[in-house]
Amino acid sequence: MNRTVYIFAIAAVAIFAGGDATPQSPRGDTAERPSLERVAPKMLTRPRIIQQPAAIVREGVTIAAFEMGWEEAPRQDVLRRIAAAAGVMLGKEIDQQAVMKSFNQAVSWTRSTSWSRLEVAPQLMVRYDAAHDEVRLINEELDVASDLGGDIGEDAAREVAEKFLDQLTSGGVLDKRLYAQAVLQLGYKRIGSGTRDGKARSDRIAEYRFTFRPRLEGIEMANVGVRMGILASGELASLRFGGVTPKGEWVGDRLRPSGKGGYREAKTDANAIMSRLYATVAREASVDVAWSRMMYVVRDDRKEDVVEPMFVVSLTERRLVDGEWVSSRRKTLAFSVTDPRSPPIDLDPPAARHESTQPTRQR
């Protein structure tokens, strides 16, 4: 299956509930960048950091390219990070040596798609994806809970997420420098109910899903981050972290390119790219753009690469067939800002053959 999968990319709108922004293709010669205000998942401000506007690249601006990729992390380091993350999830001090021994026996290093239960913490399920240096932890007791209690609300849940992020960085699970200016997104898991006649319907938030994604030079990274599933009552039910590692030299709290990376000049801008997009695709279809932004993206078919920020657009094509509008699959296209003639990269190409029954990584 040759399919690019973002570990923490915004393209995973289906994971999150909320938002219905689908700006239509413009009628005219120019294409303005679509608004992101109503796009799911919801973008949140982080009160404790200096707010930065979304990066907008214009022609002539210098951009940074970084070496980055999925590293083969030493087993002992992986076990240490998992043990520390388990302590954060359990909310108590635990014997890390015992946990690491339990993890070493439980975690499969050859079948990264399998889940394991831990002897020292039987309520926790763990999975490690060695190919992408990604860890997932689920507190099964909380994940299946039906009595959710009260709802602490979005603001309080965000504070809880920030608290857990502090614990993960101070515990060495995550690099504090990389997450100091991370963006924050919010999605929801909802539980609905209703009557058979459809006259009475209700739903409530069961879980707040927060995603912290690092930024380099003010531009988001698509393939790395931490996602927290926080119940409406405030408990941490699930945790997912890992992804690509950027290489460079830290100067204070800023990572600068090194090695094969460096600085390059942008030769186009967002409006020119959108105009190009509509001039080609919109000839045969109506284009609904869900979101667009600058991002660092490592393609799934590359173990490592020199990555410059690209202008990424998530869109759906709609065609009128026999009097009915038919929508295509969601496409995520990445456009170079240093080579205007370069064709866009389809980050979600269709599978070349039927998908197997084997478990695959989900967005």
Indicate the pLDDT class of residue 8, thresholds 50, 70 and 90.
low
Query: How many residues can be counted in the chain?
Result: 363
Q: What one-letter code names the amino acid at 76? A: Q
Kindly tell me if the per-residue pLDDT of 156 is higher than 50: yes
Kindly tell me if the per-residue pLDDT of 255 is higher than 70: yes
| Cα(271)–Cα(267) distance, integer angstroms | 12
Q: What is residue 97's predicted lDDT score, i.e. its pLDDT? A: 80
Highest-pLDDT range among 92-101, 248-257, 350-359: 248-257
Contacts of 328 (CB under 8 A, 6+ apart): 285, 316, 317, 318, 319
According to DSSP H, which parts of the chain are helical? 75-90, 96-106, 140-143, 154-170, 176-179, 270-281
Contacts of 204 (CB under 8 A, 6+ apart): 148, 151, 190, 191, 232
Q: What is residue 312's predicted lDDT score, i.e. its pLDDT? A: 95
Kindly tell me if the per-residue pLDDT of 270 is higher than 80: yes
Q: What one-letter code names the amino acid at 262? A: G
pLDDT in tens, 183-210: 999 999 888 766 676 665 667 889 999 9
Which residues of the chain form CATH 3.30.310? Answer: 75-192+201-244
DSSP state of 227: E
Indicate the pLDDT class of residue 81, thresholds 50, 70 and 90.
very high
Per-residue HEC secondary structure of 189-205 comes to EEEEEECCCCCCEEEEE
| Cα(225)–Cα(69) distance, integer angstroms | 14
Residue 334's beta-bridge partner residues?
312, 345
What pTM, to 2 d.p., does this model score? 0.82
Kindly tell me if the per-residue pLDDT of 320 is higher than 50: yes
Contacts of 17 (CB under 8 A, 6+ apart): 40, 187, 188, 189, 190
pLDDT in tens, 116-142: 887 778 899 999 998 899 999 999 988
Whether cis (ω within 30° of 0) applies to the bond prior to 26 is: no
Query: Mean pLDDT across the chain, nearest whole number?
Result: 81
As its CATH architecture, domain 75-192+201-244 has: 2-Layer Sandwich (3.30)
25-39, 58-72, 229-243: least confident range: 25-39
Percentage of residues in the chain having pLDDT higher than 70: 77
